[in-house]
Amino acid sequence: MFLSGSAAAAFAGFATQLHAQTANRLDSGGLTFRDFGTPDNGSSYTRGEQSIGGGTTQKFTRVLGIDPASQAVRLRFDSVKIELLLPMGWQATEDGERGIAYTTDKRVRLIVWRVDFTYEGVKDAEHYAATKAGSIKARRPGVEAQARKLRDGSFLIVYENVPKGPSDSGGPRTVFDLVIPSPRNPKAGVLVTLGLPTTEAARGLQLLALITQNMRIDWQ
């Protein structure tokens, strides 16, 4: 399931571009949060939907600070003990298991989770990435999934031809999973999931780089 140079070149569509774009690391390509949001001084994070659906109780995420210069907002997802810097104009909620952020038009959706690899029946982050990629391909006919290890030890999974969900806007989607192992416990990690229309996949990878480069994880 893990990309080699030849495998990436052979993988149709976006995977070839991914191989060239990541070079074993995520890169924002010079884009900033200004390129992904709407300047509203952070007001969108205190209004909007209370629930995304599924009957899950959710609450607004705590805003820690606003950076007008970069048009970004720092939030704390207490349920997963993660801080994220996100574009202005988005919204964010959380429940007991995950933090969720999304554009108001529902084209882009970000989820941050904690992962217990033992609970998931795998031995470590690499095993988790390979197993999840294979499982999604088996359960979702037509979806392509491949994974690669990045220079920092995290694992990037790319899913293509993903049907849009009932709450998503736009056409078919590309979804990125970034699996980040804990530096203190090889049996634990964080999963960052970013989904968006396939037509915006290249920019989505740059957005994932921006978000994860500015992410703070409490590993305790």
pLDDT tens digits, residue range 132-161? 999 998 888 889 998 999 999 999 999 999
Measured between its terminal Cα atoms, the distance across the chain in Å is: 31
Rounded to whole angstroms, how far apart are CA atoms 62 and 140? 35
On the question of pLDDT at 43 being above 50, the answer is yes
The count of C-alpha atoms lying within 13 angstroms of the C-alpha of 129, restricted to the half-sphere facing its C-beta, is: 28
Task: Return the higher-pLDDT residue of 16 and 43.
Answer: 43
Q: pTM of the entire structure?
A: 0.85
Find the length of the chain: 220
How far CA 162 is from CA of 2, 9, 136, 195, in Å, comes to: 19, 21, 10, 9
Res 17 pLDDT > 80:
no
Strand partners, 174: 196
Q: Are 71 and 55 in contact (CB under 8 A)?
A: no
Mean pLDDT, the chain, rounded, equals 85
| 110, two tokens | 């970000």
Q: Does the pLDDT of residue 114 top 50, yes or no?
A: yes
Give the integer Cα–Cα distance in Å for 119 and 128. Answer: 11
Token code pair at residue 152: 């920092």
Torsion sign (Cα): 94, 100, 103, 104: negative
Phi first, then psi, for residue 175 (nearest 5°) are -125, 135
Give the C-alpha separation, 218 to 155, whole Å. Answer: 19
Cβ neighbours for 33, distance < 8 A, ≥ 6 positions apart: 70, 71, 72, 85, 86, 87, 88, 210
Query: CA-CA distance, 60 to 47, in Å (whole number)?
Result: 8
